[in-house]
Amino acid sequence: MNKRRYMQLTIMTASLIISVMAGCTKEESKMKAQQALGAADSLFQVGDFEKAMTGYEEAAMAAEKANSKDVLTEAYSQIARCHLKLERLDSGKEWLARAGKIADKKQATGWSRFLGVRGRFEWREAASETHEPAPVVDKAATTFREMYAYCMLHDLHERAIDAANMLSIVGPPSEKIDWGLKGIKAAEDGALESWLGPLWNNLGWNYDEIGEYDRALEALKKAREYHYKSERAIPRLVADWSVCVQLRKTGQIDSARAIMVGVLSKAESLYADQPTSEHSEWVGLSHREMGEIELASAGDKKALEAFRKAKAKLEEAGMADWDAKGFGELADKIKSLESTQQ
């Protein structure tokens, strides 16, 4: 079944659930609300956030009719998260506030979902203020620690893994690697394979952050294995790009170049088919990495050409807003190369 047909059936299922709510018992109504929530979750997981949001709105209506506060909390929280994914921070905060008004620590599924979304908003707000892609955010880390402990206490293991994964991103550097390893072990023990790609990826970049490039390379190769089990183009491309960066940093220049030629071709093809900011970003990052490879090979002229292409695409993708430091470093590198080639 293709993705479009799957989504159509998922929306039809959610709509059908709403239409048969009348005449159901309270328990039946709650079950229908949970089914609508599950249908929306399926849409969210494949990245169709607009349709997922519609699904969560339907789940919220069903939950209201069933007087199911825990499902309603989850639905409101996920509507907020959809807005966050779609870069509508202010609208999302309104839905998060609605979820916060009814979230109850005695209702485990609703409370854990609310914490997960609240922590993401705390992280993204800090990123918007600092213009960094992955800042350390104490407030968000506190929320995710609470979420992890709560989920372990209530046997919500997959959500505990989610919290550990987020702590490997937003937590203090001294804790990131431990949280990543903890999340990987939990995912492996629970046979939750869908988490292993993101977890190995974050672990790899945390090793990169402390200069352990050999470990970073091995972790990112593991991440690539799991991302290649998906049919989604961007995760595969990012996995290849990540491995390429670490190959360069470990001195394997020829191997890095061979992979990056393919990554760049794929990125440009995606952009040609659909010139979104995300595709522009990956064309830009791929050109930037090709520039680094050329620099490592003493090919300054080719490096300058690649960096200029990278800057144009990353400017189009708004990099100055979400990674001001990285964009400034790229601009400085171009100026430095231009001065030596005059």
Radius of gyration of the chain (CA): 22
- The crossing angle, in degrees rounded to 10, of helices 173-189 and 196-209 is 160
Give me the number of domains the chain comprises: 1
- Whether residue 110 lies inside any domain: the answer is no
- Whether residue 201 lies inside any domain: the answer is no
- Whether residue 107 lies inside any domain: the answer is no
Cβ contact 295:304 at 8 Å: no
Per residue in 252-288, pLDDT (tens digit) is 999 999 999 999 999 999 999 999 999 999 999 999 9
- For residue 24, what pLDDT is reported? 60
What average pLDDT score do residues 140-154 get? Answer: 96
- Whether residue 301 lies inside any domain: the answer is yes
Indicate the residue type of 273.
D
Cα distances (Å, whole numbers) of residue 264 to 181, 193, 237: 31, 28, 9
- For residue 25, what pLDDT is reported? 65
Tokens 């485990």 label which residue? 108
**DSSP secondary structure letter of residue 154:** T
Please state, in angstroms and rounded to a whole number, the distance separating the CA atoms of residues 332 and 335.
5
Query: 3-state DSSP call for residue 247?
Result: helix
Please state, in angstroms and rounded to a whole number, the distance separating the CA atoms of residues 102 and 64.
12
- Whether residue 226 lies inside any domain: the answer is no
User: Does pLDDT of 1 surpass 50?
Assistant: no
Please state, in angstroms and rounded to a whole number, the distance separating the CA atoms of residues 285 and 288.
5
Mean pLDDT for all residues in the chain: 91
Beta-carbon contacts of 161 under 8 Å, excluding residues fewer than 6 positions away, are 183, 186, 187, 190, 192, 195, 199
- Whether residue 209 lies inside any domain: the answer is no
Concatenated DSSP letters of 288-303: HHHHHHHHHTT-HHHH
**Domain encompassing residue 333:** 231-342
Please state, in angstroms and rounded to a whole number, the distance separating the CA atoms of residues 267 and 288.
13
Query: 3-state DSSP call for residue 51?
Result: helix
- CATH code at position 336: 1.25.40.10
Angle (CA) 209 211 215, round 5°: 95
What average pLDDT score do residues 199-223 get? Answer: 97
What distance separates the 2 farthest-apart alpha carbons in the chain? 80
Query: 3-state DSSP call for residue 40?
Result: helix
- Whether residue 206 lies inside any domain: the answer is no
Burial of 88 (0-12, 13-18, 19+ CB in 10 A): middle
User: Does pLDDT of 7 surpass 60?
Assistant: no
Per residue in 30-64, pLDDT (tens digit) is 888 999 999 999 999 888 999 999 999 999 999 99
- Whether residue 294 lies inside any domain: the answer is yes
Cβ contact 225:231 at 8 Å: no
- For residue 27, what pLDDT is reported? 74
pTM, to two decimals: 0.84
